[in-house]
Amino acid sequence: MCASFCLLFNRPIARLSRFASPLVLSITALLAAGCGGNGPAFSGNTAVTLLASSTANDELSVLSLYITGIALTSKAGKTVTLLATPQAIEFIHLNGGVEPLLTVSIPQDVYTSATVSAKYGTTECETFQSSDPTEVSSYGDIGTDAAAVTVNLPQPITVTGTGMGLDLNLLVSQTTNYTSCPGIFTGPFSLTPTFDLTPVAFASQPTNVTNGMATGLRGLIESVTAAGASFSVAGDFGAGASGPTWQVSSNASTLFQGVSRASQLAAGMPVEMDVAIQSDGTLAATRIAVYDANPANVSFSTGQLIYFGSRLPAVPTQGLSMAEQSQGPDFAGLGGGAIPYNFANAAFQISGQLANLSALPFTASFNASNMVPGQNVFATTHLVTQSLPYPGSTVTLLPQSIDGTVSAISSSGSFTIYTVSLAPYNLFPALAPLQGQVNSLSDPGSMVVYADSNTQMLNKPAAGSVARFYGLVFNDNGTLRMDCAQVSDGVPE
């Protein structure tokens, strides 16, 4: 009725408003507000869920920032706080993905600027100074302050409705300043954190990162309700501070992997999960994976493997994994670095995030005979001691993002196949020459990527273009092949 009334009477009233009585002027103002003449009508607060993400190429393996505050400023100059409790966020594992940080209720308004305060940050890259895989280049920037942080709003952010999201995307290339990956704790190097902040509308049934689906969240279960229908997970951390805590619920449609039902979840278990972010910020688990069901003194780390071989003859299955995330009693306060494992007695597994492995036109397997440096792994141990290497209990292949140039496009059955050339600093070509590796690659600078109808095509790359591909990477008899879950825009190499 409002729309019809506006169409019939807006123009006549506008013509007569010069001579109208105060009553007519009041009706005009009311119609303009109620029918959208002055933009959205604001009333009360909106639940805003803050998300973290990043846009990166493959040069860095870890980039953690200790965020001390985030605030929005409206067009009228009013400031509201989104984050007041400091959080450490590791951004490289969020390349092309999202991770919910918190939900806060703020006044509905149009916000035109934002500020982020960062106390310090650390980064790691794997440019080796010799053939010794333990010589990892690492550096940090202590004392980053708000003046060094840039937050871009591509457009003003309108906060309205019952709930919405805000994506804080770290632009890694603009954030890090160096000419090459230096030696340990050498420079010159600096961090100037640069973000894009954009609104996200949550779908009732989200399908990807653009509408409320967060995949591959990892953490330790802190507490579980009696029936296991809801539980609390401590998320990843780095740079010496805690990360987010997620309150998660499950239902009859939740897929369980490693355990058969919610009631088998227990405090202390490490989990990997996919969640649908609801409009009010609550998290509904669509998949919950438990790769080590023994919660006793369990610690875990995730990150790209940087060595798997026989550097020590007595330990032919020794591996070094970069700790972009590490939790549990063995790794308390670690915050990064390479963690040595002995995988001789470990159970090898593959993440259940992608469900089409049996349909691939190659045999997708992951074990000690084909694991290679560069693959993203989730490793657990129950040692509770500083004796090294840690005896690996489980090692699970996780999805990862790679940035590369598409050199050819073909097809096989229901799959589109992209042949991707990797930059020399990508870990697969960078690590392949190291001495003592157990398994080798025939062409570590190239990867064959398989996309099907389930792949989220946020970008459709053409031959010669650069794109980011997210999925499980396998070593198929010396050839790198990816089962792709998502294709995003590329980052210059």
Reported as a single tens digit per residue, the pLDDT across 338-361 is 788 888 899 999 999 999 999 999
pLDDT recorded at residue 21: 38
Half-sphere exposure of 33 (CA within 13 A, CB side): 9
For residue 232, the cross-strand partners are 223, 247
Confidence tier at 164 by pLDDT (50, 70, 90) = very high
Count of CB atoms within 10 A of residue 310's CB? Answer: 14
Half-sphere exposure of 23 (CA within 13 A, CB side): 0
Length of the chain: 493
Interaxial angle between packed helices 2-16 and 22-34, expressed in degrees from 0 to 180 and rounded to the nearest 10: 140
Buried b or exposed e, range 141-163, using 16+ CB within 10 angstroms: beebeeebbebebeeebbbeeeb
Q: Is pLDDT of 429 > 70? A: yes
Count of CB atoms within 10 A of residue 253's CB? Answer: 8
**440-454: pLDDT as tens digits:** 899 999 999 999 999
pLDDT recorded at residue 318: 66
Question: What angle (nearest 5°) sits at the alpha carbon of residue 228, between those of residues 249 and 290?
Answer: 85
Any idea what DSSP says for residue 387? -
Average pLDDT over residues 244-263: 94
Question: Is residue 350 a contact partner of residue 400, using CB atoms and an 8 Å limit?
Answer: no
pLDDT recorded at residue 114: 97
For residue 406, the cross-strand partners are 420
pLDDT recorded at residue 366: 97
CA-to-CA dists, residue 312 to 73, 199, 266, 391, 413, angstroms: 57, 51, 37, 15, 45
Q: CB neighbours of 235 closer than 8 A, spacing ≥ 6? A: 99, 217, 218, 219, 243, 244, 245, 246
pLDDT recorded at residue 144: 59
Question: Which residue carries 């940050």 as its tokens?
Answer: 121
Both tokens of residue 228? 């296991």
**458-475: pLDDT as tens digits:** 999 999 999 999 999 999
Identify whether 188 is preceded by a cis peptide bond (ω within 30 of 0).
Answer: yes
CA 414/CA 207 separation, integer angstroms: 20
DSSP string, 150-205: EEE-SSPEEE-SSEEEEEEEEEHHHHEE-SS--STT-SS-EE--EEEEEEEPPPSS
Query: How far is it between the farthest Cα atoms of the chain?
Result: 96
Tell me if residue 108 falls in helix, strand or coil: coil
Q: Minimum mean pLDDT among 100-104, 271-275, 300-304, 486-490: which range?
A: 300-304
CA 132/CA 371 separation, integer angstroms: 19
Dihedral-angle region of residue 451 (phi above 0 means left; psi in -120 to 50 means alpha; beta otherwise): beta
**13-56: pLDDT as tens digits:** 333 333 333 333 333 333 333 444 456 789 899 999 999 999 99
Any idea what DSSP says for residue 142? E
Q: Is pLDDT of 432 > 80? A: yes
**94-147: pLDDT as tens digits:** 999 999 999 999 999 999 999 999 887 777 776 655 555 545 555 555 555 656
Higher pLDDT, 321 or 61: 61
Q: Minimum mean pLDDT among 24-28, 220-224, 327-331, 383-387: which range?
A: 24-28
pLDDT recorded at residue 190: 77
Amino acid at site 439: N
Both tokens of residue 167? 């994506």
Average pLDDT over residues 251-266: 94
Q: H helices of 287-431, where?
A: 427-431
Residues 13, 15, 19, 22, CA torsion sign: positive
State percent of the chain over pLDDT 70: 80
CA 470/CA 112 separation, integer angstroms: 32
Helix (H) or strand (E) holding 471: strand 466-476
Higher pLDDT, 420 or 299: 420
Question: Which residue carries 């632009």 as its tokens?
Answer: 171
**262-299: pLDDT as tens digits:** 999 999 999 999 999 999 999 999 999 999 999 999 99
**182-196: pLDDT as tens digits:** 544 455 677 889 999
pLDDT recorded at residue 32: 37
What average pLDDT does the chain have?
A: 84
Confidence tier at 204 by pLDDT (50, 70, 90) = very high
pLDDT recorded at residue 119: 81
pLDDT recorded at residue 127: 60
